[in-house]
């Protein structure tokens, strides 16, 4: 019986092992003391496993090489994922944005289900074992060498070592080196789905404030490059939260490019409607100071900053605020502009964009086009998606396809 050696026991590696174990003897290797260490922290410990949108819509949420993933995602779809986990006894639920989670809200249920299935299929799991090299001779992968110097031979090898984000979970980019040594090109890695740093000092005063139902727009040299409604949070260095993470995918870190982030605090209202709303509030608080007239319009934490940025004296009586000043206030609330300083480091990113170039990987089998008995799956490949369960689905689909397509090689 042929032996398949899989490096990395994240979602991609575990899925590849389960798929391959139907036909082959499988050895799954991970450097950590347990499988699925990153999976454990996904979705804030709840694991946003996949998304229930029609699979044809997934590609709109994959800015990184969506076309390469057609075959994987259509062969092992989100429905397959949900059936697979329900079949393993994990009940699932769908939340806002069609995000799929375990009913228990515990990512550990997903990991335990995978681990049990690996055991059922007699997969040998080697933990605390870091692979340092994939040994290739004359275009054929022969074995892997571990940090402790052990050599593990096999007939087929699948690299599922993940990207570079959250390195404490074991993903430190080792797979890029294995791929490079096999002759593959590595597309420059950069953080994706990562908080954004802001230059303005006033941002620090807002640390911890989270905003719902706002619109975030990114401008690069005055052209809109991203715009989305949703939630965000201010941090000590800038902004984070779902729509900020997605926006980060479009931020180019280049000193010659200037990027502006603009928040519309009241996107449901036109400027005229907001002005009328402010007038109503001002009428209500007619004799009060400006600083005491915004309580019904803005979260408490934001009022001081808005007042400061508005250049209206905080002690000015509301009834003496001019039409022009009110217009400025409306403009500020709908265009709270910030200058983007850059992205947080890749270690803080949800995913890595870049990785093993898809050009030299067969999309329907995930085999290397350079080394026939070597495959890649998951985040190690140059693919990445937005939040919403799409990255997990990519890892699971590519893992499954890699594990199922290892037979007819030399
Ligand atoms: C905080 C956070 C939250 C996230 N939440 C979600 C979410 O809710 N939904 C979603 O879709 N995506 C989420 N993601 C993204 C998702 O976790 C990844 O895209 C996914 O885990 C990638 O799977 P993978 O198997 O390719 O790689 P990984 O999960 O990174 O697994 C790689 C494995 O390889 C092992 N390894 C690496 N090098 C070696 C080596 N040399 N030898 C042996 N073993 C090695 C590592 O220890 C690791 O276990 C989140 C990511 C983060 C960081």
The string of pLDDT tens digits covering residues 147-197 is 999 999 999 999 999 999 999 999 999 999 999 999 999 999 999 999 999
Query: How far, in Å, is the centroid of ligand 1 from the Cα of 390?
Result: 13
Q: In what order do the strands lie in the sheet with 50-51?
A: 50-51, 99-102, 92-95
Residue 410's pLDDT is what?
43
What value does the mean pLDDT take over residues 356-376?
Answer: 98
DSSP 338: E
- Ligand 1 neighbour 160 (Cβ under 6 A): yes
Q: What is the pTM of this model?
A: 0.93
Query: How far, in Å, is the centroid of ligand 1 from the Cα of 216?
Result: 28
- Ligand 1 neighbour 366 (Cβ under 6 A): no
Residue 408's pLDDT is what?
55
Query: How far, in Å, is the centroid of ligand 1 from the Cα of 67?
Result: 22
What are the start-end ranges of the E strands in 168-278? 186-192, 196-198, 210-220, 223-234, 238-240, 259-264
Can you give the C-alpha Rg of the chain in angstroms?
Answer: 25
Residue 237's pLDDT is what?
96
Tell me the C-alpha distance between 53 and 188, whole Å.
31
- Ligand 1 neighbour 10 (Cβ under 6 A): yes
Tell me the C-alpha distance between 399 and 392, whole Å.
10
- Ligand 1 neighbour 8 (Cβ under 6 A): yes
Residue in 162, 193, 366, 394 to alter for ligand 1 test, most ligand atoms within 8 A of Cβ: 162
Residues 141 and 371 sit within 8 Å (Cβ to Cβ): yes
Helix%, strand%, coil% for the chain, nearest 5 = 40, 25, 35
Other beta carbons less than 10 A from residue 201's beta carbon: 7
Which pLDDT band, with edges at 50, 70 and 90, does 4 fall under? very high
> Does the structure show a pLDDT above 50 at 376?
yes
Residues 255 and 201 sit within 8 Å (Cβ to Cβ): no
The string of pLDDT tens digits covering residues 282-300 is 999 988 999 999 999 999 9
What are the start-end ranges of the E strands in 221-350? 223-234, 238-240, 259-264, 336-343
- Tokens linked to 357: 């170039």
Tell me the C-alpha distance between 50 and 222, whole Å.
35
């Amino acid at each position: 019986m042929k032996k398949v050696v899989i490096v990395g026991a994240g979602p991609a590696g575990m899925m590849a092992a389960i798929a391959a174990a139907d036909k082959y003897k499988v050895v799954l290797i991970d450097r950590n003391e347990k499988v699925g260490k990153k999976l454990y922290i996904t979705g804030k410990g709840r694991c946003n496993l996949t998304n229930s949108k029609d699979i044809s819509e997934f590609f709109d949420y994959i800015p990184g090489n969506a076309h390469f993933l057609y075959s994987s995602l259509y062969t092992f779809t989100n429905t397959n994922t949900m059936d697979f986990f329900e079949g393993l006894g994990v009940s699932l639920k769908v939340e806002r944005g069609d995000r799929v989670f375990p009913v228990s809200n515990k990512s550990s249920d997903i990991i335990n289900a995978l681990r049990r299935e690996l055991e059922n299929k007699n997969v040998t799991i080697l933990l605390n074992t870091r692979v340092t090299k994939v040994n290739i001779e004359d275009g054929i992968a022969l074995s892997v060498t571990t940090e402790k110097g052990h050599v593990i031979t096999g007939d087929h090898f699948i690299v599922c070592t993940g990207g570079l984000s959250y390195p404490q979970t074991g993903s430190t980019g080792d797979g890029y080196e294995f791929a490079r040594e096999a002759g593959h090109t590595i597309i420059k890695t950069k953080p994706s789905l990562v908080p954004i740093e802001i230059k303005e000092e006033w941002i620090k005063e807002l640390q911890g404030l989270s905003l719902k139902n706002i619109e975030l727009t990114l401008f690069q040299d005055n052209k809109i490059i991203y715009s989305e409604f949703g939630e965000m949070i201010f941090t000590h260095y800038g902004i984070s939260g779902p729509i900020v993470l997605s926006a980060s995918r479009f931020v180019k870190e280049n000193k010659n490019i200037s990027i502006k982030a603009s928040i519309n605090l009241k996107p449901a209202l036109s400027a005229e409607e907001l002005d009328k709303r402010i007038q109503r509030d001002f009428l209500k608080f007619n004799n009060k100071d400006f600083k005491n007239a915004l309580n019904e319009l803005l979260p408490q934490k934001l009022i001081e900053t808005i007042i400061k940025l508005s250049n209206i004296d905080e002690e000015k009586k509301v009834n003496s605020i001019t039409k022009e000043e009110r217009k400025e206030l409306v403009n500020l609330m709908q265009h709270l502009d910030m200058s983007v300083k850059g992205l947080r480091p890749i270690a803080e990113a949800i995913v890595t964009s870049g990785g093993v170039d898809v050009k030299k990987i067969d999309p329907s089998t995930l085999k290397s086009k350079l080394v026939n008995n070597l495959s890649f799956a998951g985040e190690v490949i140059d693919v990445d998606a937005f939040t919403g369960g799409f990255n997990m689905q990519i890892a699971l689909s590519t893992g499954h396809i890699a594990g199922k397509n290892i037979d007819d090689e030399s």
